[in-house]
């Protein structure tokens, strides 16, 4: 942009650098290490491809359940401007963990949400995620569970006869919650749902957990409403390797989907400009050692700088 100022015979042209006025983007990757015993870890990136851990130490130590784990952390920015996080507290519990923060440094009391306590046969609550519903000013929390005696088709099951489906609750205040409902069942074993909003649609990245014939890949489904119904899943987005824990970020016109290549002990990524054709870019990303399933969040650079200062004190 040029502004032309005329003063007598003088014309002064001032070039305004628009980029200096625009908000700079930065990203946080929340994740766990090992089995999740030591809690929440954070990495940051300025380009969405190369990530640096913010501390070797965890930012929040788990205290919930007998197992006291903090696996699969998912953090979002809520309608109230606070950060809200949910996570897996155990391999076998009937609920999930929740905490909130203003700065990703200082956290509220950790709360256990018994989302499947009404199901006597529930075996687990894994990889919860949370999405803010701007239309209804509420939050949807969703996760995968196996319920003994339900969805018993052996062709759908995975290891140890798990046969997961995706369930959800909604809340406005993280104190009272709706009735638990089934969110996604398209006739196959599904875990690790992750939902984003794009051009009037809700996109759900999911893992097909089917063991025989082996799938273990990432797919995508869509819906007009956050609570569904969601479409049948696409063909696999990922390649001939075992993948789980998808998390996505949109950078410019490009979608990146990160996932855990857990058999190989490392992360992979794919990208697309149209959500239909995907390119594997696993050789073009860099992440901290030992990173496991988590989520990506866009934040202001000030948030990251404040975290760095808190670590270096």
Q: For residue range 249-280, list pLDDT tens digits in order.
A: 999 999 999 999 999 999 999 999 999 999 99
From residue 36, alpha-carbon distances to 33, 177, 254, 290 in Å are: 6, 26, 31, 11
Residue 185 has a pLDDT of 97
Is the pLDDT at 2 greater than 70? The verdict is: no
**pLDDT level of residue 153 (50, 70, 90 thresholds):** confident
**pLDDT level of residue 161 (50, 70, 90 thresholds):** confident
Query: What is the architecture of the domain spanning 26-312?
Result: 5 Propeller (2.115)
pLDDT digits (tens, 9 = 90+) for 205-226: 999 999 989 999 999 999 999 9
From residue 283, alpha-carbon distances to 65, 207, 219, 267, 296 in Å are: 38, 22, 21, 10, 19
Which whole number is the average pLDDT over 95-122? Answer: 98
Mean pLDDT of the chain: 92
What percent of the chain is predicted at pLDDT more than 90?
Answer: 88
Any idea where the domains of the chain sit in the sequence?
26-312
Residue 168 has a pLDDT of 99
**pLDDT level of residue 6 (50, 70, 90 thresholds):** very low
């Amino acid at each position: 942009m040029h502004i032309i100022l005329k003063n007598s015979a003088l014309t002064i042209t001032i070039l305004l650098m628009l980029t200096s006025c625009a908000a700079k983007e930065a990203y946080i990757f929340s994740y766990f290490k090992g089995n999740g015993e030591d809690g929440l870890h954070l990495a940051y990136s300025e380009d969405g491809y190369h990530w640096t851990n913010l501390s070797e130490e965890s930012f929040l130590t788990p205290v919930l359940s007998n197992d006291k784990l903090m696996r699969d952390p998912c953090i979002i920015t809520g309608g109230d401007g606070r950060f809200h996080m949910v996570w897996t507290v155990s391999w076998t519990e009937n609920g999930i963990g929740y905490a909130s923060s203003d700065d990703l440094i200082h956290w509220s009391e950790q709360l256990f949400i018994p989302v499947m306590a009404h199901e006597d046969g529930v075996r687990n609550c894994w990889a919860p995620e949370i999405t803010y519903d701007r239309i209804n000013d509420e939050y949807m929390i969703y996760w995968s569970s196996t319920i003994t005696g339900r969805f018993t088709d052996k062709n759908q099951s995975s290891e140890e006869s798990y046969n997961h489906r995706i369930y959800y609750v909604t809340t406005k205040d993280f104190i009272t919650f709706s009735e638990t409902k089934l969110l996604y069942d398209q006739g196959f074993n599904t875990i690790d749902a992750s939902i984003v909003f794009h051009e009037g649609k809700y996109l759900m990245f999911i893992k097909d957990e089917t063991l025989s014939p082996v799938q273990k890949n990432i797919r995508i489904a869509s819906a007009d409403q956050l609570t569904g119904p969601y479409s049948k899943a696409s063909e696999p987005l990922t390649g001939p390797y075992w993948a789980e824990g998808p998390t996505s970020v949109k950078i410019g016109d490009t979608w990146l989907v990160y996932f855990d290549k857990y058999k190989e002990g490392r992360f992979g990524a794919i990208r697309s400009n149209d959500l239909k054709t995907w390119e594997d870019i696993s050789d073009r990303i860099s992440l901290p050692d030992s990173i496991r399933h988590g989520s990506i969040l866009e934040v202001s650079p000030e948030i990251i700088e404040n975290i760095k200062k808190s670590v270096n004190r």
